[in-house]
Structure 1
Amino acid sequence: MSAALLNAAPAQACGIDFGTSNSTAGWSRAGHSALLALEGDKLTLPSVIFFHAEDGHISYGRAALADYLEGHEGRLMRSLKSLLGTAMMDEYTDIGGRAMAFRQVLGQFIGELKGRAECTAGREFSRAVLGRPVFFVDDDAQADQRAQDTLQSIAHAAGLRDIAFQYEPIAAAFDYESQITREELVLVVDIGGGTSDFTLIRVGPERARRAERRDDILASGGVHIGGTDFDRALNLASLMPLLGLGSLLKNGRQMPSAQYFNLATWHTINLAYTKKAWAQIAELHRDAGDRPKVERLQSLVRERAGHWLAMQVEQAKIALSAAPETQIDIGRIASGQHVTLERADLDGAIDALVGKVGQTVTRLLGDAGVTAAGIDTVFFTGGSSGVPLLRERVQALAPQARCVEGDRFGSIGAGLALDAQRKFG
């Protein structure tokens, strides 16, 4: 199909970016934005699902978060993508007193995402290009392939007959390419909720017309570190010590950390609400040298407020990306109390994680045989790409390059829509 026809006719397929924190769907049409509205007029659907206990109703996205925060009884689940490639993917979880497979939960969300895209587009999609991180799982090729196969199986069950995959940073590069007028060597930096992915690629108007782009990609790499890892690190460093993490037991030994890590990690928060976990926390309280702190932990678990606290921490991270200081209201578990956090607290909490991201970029440039001086543009995308420390470290690796910020939540989805048009017509 010629480039002119591609630009004139609506694509037959869509692009789906199933993200750890937010998801999008795109459909290429001449004269229209590729991204489709998924929740009211919003182009993103937070990757959140809430199962109501009272009537079995399921809510998604912002509505799911609102239902949870309003105090409805039920089960909130978030960061579902993080389960792909893990042993938990083949396990079951309790939803309203019945066992539901985690892959069924993912299928519920992806089916809803597809249905909303079809409703906005006014047509059915049976073909799609799905985004995927460069690595679902670090340093384990079999687990990584299993993660993609699982996602493909779930998408098939949701009604997508023909499926192709594209690396998310390459999709972002396609979106950037649609906006430029000259050829460039671009380092795409995609910092999402669960992974940090990078591609070094040659882009330009002439190259955009090619059906096959393999030769334009000099290198791709990634590491399983993203925004939810930054949230967890900030939570463990600044909030969980107020609940007893790092304190001592009466015998002088350090407080066990398992329950704190569960509460600071989105997809394991509910593990802290089991009878076994509650018994362990009661034992910690009995043996604690600083009981008031553990009483806050008990209050958090009793109130099933782990997701609430995680949201508070996430909002603090976002605020500290734009301001030098912010406050967290912890009144729900400690009456009348606030915690003041500074940018330095965030930087200190995530320093080691950002260091690993920087090492990944350095290896990428080495693998490609490219010096920093050869990079024309660093293109930032992904919801967590605005974290100042991370941007500073990456920019320092290519100090002469122009820095461009894409649509943090939409570049990948728009690029996947372009790729769907190329692959399926």
Structure 2
Amino acid sequence: MTAHKWQFTARFRRQAFGWRSDLPIKRIREAVKEIKQVARKEPVLAAEGAVTLLVKLSPALEQVDSSSGALGSAVNRAIGALVPIIAKADVDTPLRERWLDRLWEALQEDDMPYIEILGDHWGDLCATPAVASQWADEFLPVLASMWSPAAPRHGYFKGTTACLASLYAAGRYRELLALLDKAPFKWWHDRRWGVKALAAMGRKSEAIRYAEDSRGLNDPGWQIAQACESILLSSGLADEAYRRYAIEANQGTTYLATFRAIARKYPDRSAEKILRDLIASTPGAEGKWFAAAKDAGLFAVASELATRSPTDPRTLTRAARDYAEKQPDFALAAGLAALHWISQGHGYEITGADVIDAYSAVMQAAPTADIAAGVSTQIRAMCAAPGGEFLRAVLSRQLSS
């Protein structure tokens, strides 16, 4: 293999970083970028570098404060980028075994832990069913012993997920299912491999039942829904997948992200149908879907939502300002709704400037003097209604002119 001096190795010495996480996050990104650049021309060398970085991560990060979760997310992203580089490298079995030995030793010494999700990827890292089967044979006796009815229930084996992943990658599905039957309790993190095994065997209905039977108080329902949705979609049962799992399986970080995720996955369904179903799923919080409706060009629906349920006033004001010329009716409705919800006490740390912005957006959207006069009348009514004192104080000069 070509001799190569990696820049990142000197930066990832044991306890190389202090308690702050910003520098190690930066260094992780730089290291991954360096490895990716090498991978374009020398994939085997890049894979060697990826293994080296993964081995060095936990010792280097021992003293870093990871309580915010940002560092853990950075490490997980790095693992997600590096595993395919290692898995795709075209190397002989002895070299791959050496890589796996190094990674397994790093996993065992990962006390914090930082790289534990490597176990999820162990089957990919093995690259071939034969290598995966050999590792499964290494792990099986330990895990089977720990899951024996006679074993104490407080033990932990760091190779649990790697064992399950290896059995799956080796195609030893029946053994995998039999092993999971011995688990002391139902835990989705383990049982997801049983779902994958049943699906790979073509027993898709059983796979869905197995997944549903894995639900529990602390299990991630959205992950279970994702697995079931994927099985149904792969079987051409899009209607059932949508009806049973679409909303639960595609929860994004925002309401708009959730809508977009479902719309991409189910292109045959109208945007309004998807949006109406999402609105129905959150009774009392209909206004949260305002941005999704606007983004989909469903301006009538967006206007309905803005007046029906509390919606962030600043979001409404931005919409009124942005669409004053293109969609004046919608802009008027959004701006008036912003003022209404401000008068009702909604919005985070609303100031007089926010009121002026909303009022200006409303008047900008009024296409004629007659409409502007009618709008002013509506705003005066808001000011006179209970809770309108703040609006009245801020807009006294505008409404008196």
Q: Same fold (TM over 0.5)?
A: no
Structure number with the higher strand fraction is 1
Structure ID, larger Rg: 2
Of structures 1 and 2, the one with the larger relative CO (CA 8 A, separation 6+) is 1
TM-score by length of 1: 0.21
What TM-score do you get using the length of structure 2 for normalisation? 0.22
Hey, which of these two has a bigger chunk of helix by percent?
A: 2
